[in-house]
């Protein structure tokens, strides 16, 4: 079996920035175990698999979309959704359409393709409201090896730090991150002009020690900072080693995220 393979740098700010996502556009679905093996072989934070849904209703092409880390399937991945839209456009699978719908484990998602390498995705907002108990709060501070001002829980733990410098200086230990038993977003208001907030994302329990740029984390970050800063349009930067930039907007119970999606690699994988 031969399958097309793309590698796309999502939310990039130039060459070798953003979050690399592998995208495998399928003509028809393949079994779950094979998708997991391909994701493990790719060894990127996410591999996205798309398959067309030809009879779907609507005015835009529709594809099934699933995301796998090297160790597990996940419910939502923003950067690989961005990458999937860019790869399908490059492959010619969208027939010139500037919008594509995805059917996913997190419900229907939409990607809009602008000029150049710009792509905007529409994801469900996740308002982080639950506070951790004392033991979990202690585990999160131990994992980050830094004091935090507040922690809120949803899919991930959202840890608010006192400054951008504190976020950049984090050097957490993998064993303590695993003991926390929940992926952790570290965030603070930005000190940089034109950027509202910064973040980093640690998820060894999902097979990713530190993710370069994390769309799903911004489903929690954007509602938090929109309320904290009193604005619905925000510019974010994830300050990992690679780094990436996101233009975000909170619109009701949805978060719109836009950024660059630069195709780094086109190829063919040989399976079986």
Q: Catalytic residue numbers?
A: 46
Q: Residue 48: enclosing H or E segment and its boundaries?
A: strand 46-52
88 CA to centre of own chain = 18
Measure Cα distances from 44 to 7, 82, 138, 165 in Å: 9, 15, 30, 27
Q: Which run of H or E residues covers position 65?
A: strand 62-68
- Residue 4, class by beta-carbon neighbours within 10 Å (0-12 exposed, 13-18 middle, 19+ buried)? middle
> Would you put residue 105 in left (φ > 0), alpha (ψ -120 to 50) or beta?
alpha
DSSP code at position 135: H
Distance CA 238, CA 11 (A): 9
- Rounded-to-integer distance, Cα 159 and Cα 147, Å: 9
Asked if residue 83 lies in contact with residue 261, where contact means CB atoms within 8 angstroms, the answer is: yes
Query: CA–CA separation, 129 vs 212, rounded Å?
Result: 25
DSSP state of 59: S
Pairing of strands 2-12, 19-25: antiparallel
H/E segment holding residue 160: strand 157-160
Select from 235, 195, 245, 209 the least CA-distant residue to 79: 245
């Amino acid at each position: 079996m031969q399958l097309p393979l793309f590698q796309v740098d999502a939310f990039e700010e130039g060459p070798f920035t953003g979050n690399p996502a592998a995208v495998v556009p399928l003509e028809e679905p393949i079994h779950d175990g094979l998708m997991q093996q391909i994701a493990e072989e790719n060894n990127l934070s996410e591999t996205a698999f798309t398959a067309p849904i030809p009879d779907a209703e609507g005015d835009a092409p529709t594809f099934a979309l699933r995301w796998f880390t090297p160790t597990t399937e996940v419910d939502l991945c923003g950067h690989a959704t961005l990458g999937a839209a860019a790869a399908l456009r490059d492959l010619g699978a969208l027939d010139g359409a500037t919008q594509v719908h995805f059917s996913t484990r997190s419900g229907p998602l939409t990607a809009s393709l602008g000029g150049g390498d710009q792509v905007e995705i529409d994801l469900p907002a996740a308002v982080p409201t639950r506070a951790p108990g004392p033991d979990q709060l202690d585990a999160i501070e131990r994992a980050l090896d830094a004091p935090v001002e507040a922690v809120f829980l949803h899919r991930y733990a959202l840890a608010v730090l006192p400054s951008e410098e504190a976020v950049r200086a984090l050097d957490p230990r993998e064993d303590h991150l695993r003991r926390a038993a929940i992926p952790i977003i570290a965030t603070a208001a930005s000190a940089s002009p034109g950027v509202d907030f910064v973040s980093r994302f640690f998820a060894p329990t999902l097979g990713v020690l530190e993710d370069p740029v994390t769309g799903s984390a911004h489903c929690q970050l954007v509602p938090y900072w929109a309320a904290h800063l009193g604005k619905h349009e925000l510019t974010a930067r994830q300050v990992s080693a690679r780094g990436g930039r996101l233009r975000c907007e909170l619109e009701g119970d949805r978060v719109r995220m836009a950024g660059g999606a630069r195709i780094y690699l086109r190829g063919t994988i040989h399976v079986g």
